[in-house]
Amino acid sequence: NQFDVIIRGGIVVTATDTFRADVGIRHGKIMTVANILTDGTKIIDASGLLVMPGGIDSHVHLAQPSFDGPAMADGFESGTRSAVAGGNTTVLPFALQPRGASLRSSVVNYHKEADGQSYCDYGFHLIVTDPTPSVLSQELPALVEDGYTSFKVFMTYDDLVLNDRQLLEVFSSARDCKALVMVHCEGYDAIRFMTERLEAVGKTAPYYHAVSRPESVEREATHRAISHAELTDVPIMIVHVSGREPMEQIRWAQNRGMKIYGETCPQYIALTSEDLKGLNMDETGGKYVCSPPPREKESWEAVWSGIKTGVFQTFSSDHCPFFYEGVGGKLNDKARTSFRWVPNGIPGVETRLPILYSRGVAEGRITVNEFVALTSTNHAKIYGLYPEKGSIAPGFDADIVLWDPNRKETISQRLMHHGADYTPYEGQQVTGWPVMTLLRGKIVAEEGKIVGSKSDGRFLKRRLSPYAMPGSNR
Ligand code: URP
Ligand code: ZN
Ligand code: ZN
Ligand code: ZN
């Protein structure tokens, strides 16, 4: 047979086009996209379904140790299982450098966690916490060469924060090795100040997590990162942008012609700071503690305007799962004493696509092509995976999600494949749901069942990002 698999009768959707066509797959690659194809070993009936590039989630945390001890609820096995169930075919988690350790040894450790344990393809961003001269001048360039072409830096968290001098050194090194820098923009000192002030008057419930880091704190750090990117003339990606104020900083920089990119996440269009409310630690506020925190409901439309007008190129989950109950959970003994000890982060790799499709496409805020760009194509382009990943066209990997645009579901822990014991989107109703996920031509998830194996995923050595090329920020 000419094709191993033919996906027949669906509507193919790319970042630019929507058309009825069959997709012919051979040896894991898309070989032909044409009106009618025959001669396939296996025929998949996609009538009534959208045929879209598999989701690429460029911001997930798996198997990452956290500063205050609690173990993450997902390693690679459960995290990527959840990813494919949610219509994703590639994830980009982080390899965190503990202070004092080498970047390379951290990468080796994460490979031990991931290799042979992944249901989908994966690459790694680095997290630089200890930018010593040898890390910046030797380790980083060597790792970029090896396909780890992006890394994240933090402007807050005790064990991760870099000061301004360090940020400038790191940005400047990124420029030299053409790596793309992702920046967590929240101001360390302001958060510490607010946290101590709140704790001093007994305001320790989870809700005060949001009060301790308001939008102004994120806006200030976003502006500071942009200024540093201007001084060093290096493009940067501002990750997990929560609302209007930081978004307006990015728009301001983009309007000046700077290469400043933006990412936003489901929690900023589907959760609010009200969700963190609770009078004491036994209420459920801790389930929603992530940073930056979800904002007011009015903030949702501001984020949508940023999505619609291109301020944001990527929509990622920032999947960072912790258990709610039990030892090491969000309600652990220390966490009950103050919001400051509640592990930061929420699960979301499985619900990212349904939430954006439902609130975005089904409710008429974005087109289905914008959906594909925001969930797949732009991630591939920005993080050096194009043209293998991120579209439906001859030569691309056959990473495909078959999507039922009319399926109504109620998000529930019962449906999830992640390791966590809850979903923060419990009870939310969505229209649009993945019915089948193919990784390089192989069905890995179907109707909520995992049919792939944890040895299916491959490590992706990524090329340099064209988005990281310097020359326009000053
Ligand atoms: O609260 C969050 N988002 N935790 C994950 C770590 C990060 O900053 O992305
Ligand atoms: Zn074959
Ligand atoms: Zn972050
Ligand atoms: Zn994150």
ipTM: 0.94
- Written as six digits, the tokens of 424 are 């923060």
Ligand 2 center–CA 11 separation, angstroms: 24
* pLDDT at residue 474 in the model: 85
Q: Which of 318, 341, 346, 349 to probe ligand 1 with, by most ligand atoms within 8 A of CB?
A: 318
Query: Rounded to two decimals, what is the model's pTM?
Result: 0.98
Of 9, 1, 23, 8, residue with least CA distance to 392: 23
Q: Is the distance from the beta carbon of residue 290 to the nearest atom of ligand 1 less than 6 Å? A: yes
Q: Which of 264, 290, 340 to probe ligand 1 with, by most ligand atoms within 8 A of CB?
A: 290
* pLDDT at residue 472 in the model: 87
Ligand 2 center–CA 40 separation, angstroms: 10
* Number of Cβ within a 10 Å radius of residue 42: 13
**Which atom of ligand 1 lies closest to the CA of 239?**
9
Q: Is the distance from the beta carbon of residue 152 to the nearest atom of ligand 1 less than 6 Å? A: no
* pLDDT at residue 66 in the model: 67
- Written as six digits, the tokens of 127 are 């997290």
Distance of CA 12 to the CA centre of its chain: 24
Mean pLDDT per 10-residue segment, the chain (474 residues): 98 98 98 97 98 99 78 96 99 97 96 98 98 97 98 97 98 98 98 98 96 98 98 98 98 98 98 82 85 97 98 98 89 92 96 99 98 99 98 99 98 98 97 98 98 98 97 88
Ligand 1 center–CA 381 separation, angstroms: 23
> Angle formed by the axes of helices 215-232 and 188-200, to 10°?
160
Ligand 1 center–CA 4 separation, angstroms: 41
Of 380, 367, 235, residue with least CA distance to 310: 367
- Written as six digits, the tokens of 374 are 């925001």
366: left (phi over 0), alpha (psi -120 to 50) or beta: beta
Q: Are 41 and 28 in contact (CB under 8 A)?
A: no
Range list of β-strands (E), 265-396: 314-315
Q: Is the distance from the beta carbon of residue 209 to the nearest atom of ligand 1 less than 6 Å? A: no
Whole-number Å distance between alpha carbons of 130 and 14: 40
**Which atom of ligand 1 lies closest to the CA of 154?**
8
Ligand 4 center–CA 151 separation, angstroms: 12
Q: Is the distance from the beta carbon of residue 183 to the nearest atom of ligand 1 less than 6 Å? A: no
Whole-number Å distance between alpha carbons of 223 and 261: 13
* pLDDT at residue 327 in the model: 78
Ligand 3 center–CA 458 separation, angstroms: 25
Q: Edge to edge, what strands does the sheet with 88-91 contain?
A: 55-57, 88-91, 121-122
Whole-number Å distance between alpha carbons of 404 and 250: 34
Whole-number Å distance between alpha carbons of 116 and 292: 33
Please give the C-alpha separations between residue 50 and each of 13, 25, 45, 91, 193, in angstroms, as whole numbers. 7, 17, 11, 21, 50
Q: Is the distance from the beta carbon of residue 57 to the nearest atom of ligand 1 less than 6 Å? A: no
Strand partners for 51: 12, 402
Residue ranges in 136-214 assigned as alpha helix (H):
140-145, 164-177, 188-200, 207-212
Which H or E element spans position 410? strand 400-410
Q: Is the distance from the beta carbon of residue 345 to the nearest atom of ligand 1 less than 6 Å? A: yes
Q: Is the distance from the beta carbon of residue 184 to the nearest atom of ligand 1 less than 6 Å? A: yes
Whole-number Å distance between alpha carbons of 191 and 292: 11
Whole-number Å distance between alpha carbons of 66 and 343: 8
* pLDDT at residue 280 in the model: 55
Q: Are 465 and 472 in contact (CB under 8 A)?
A: no
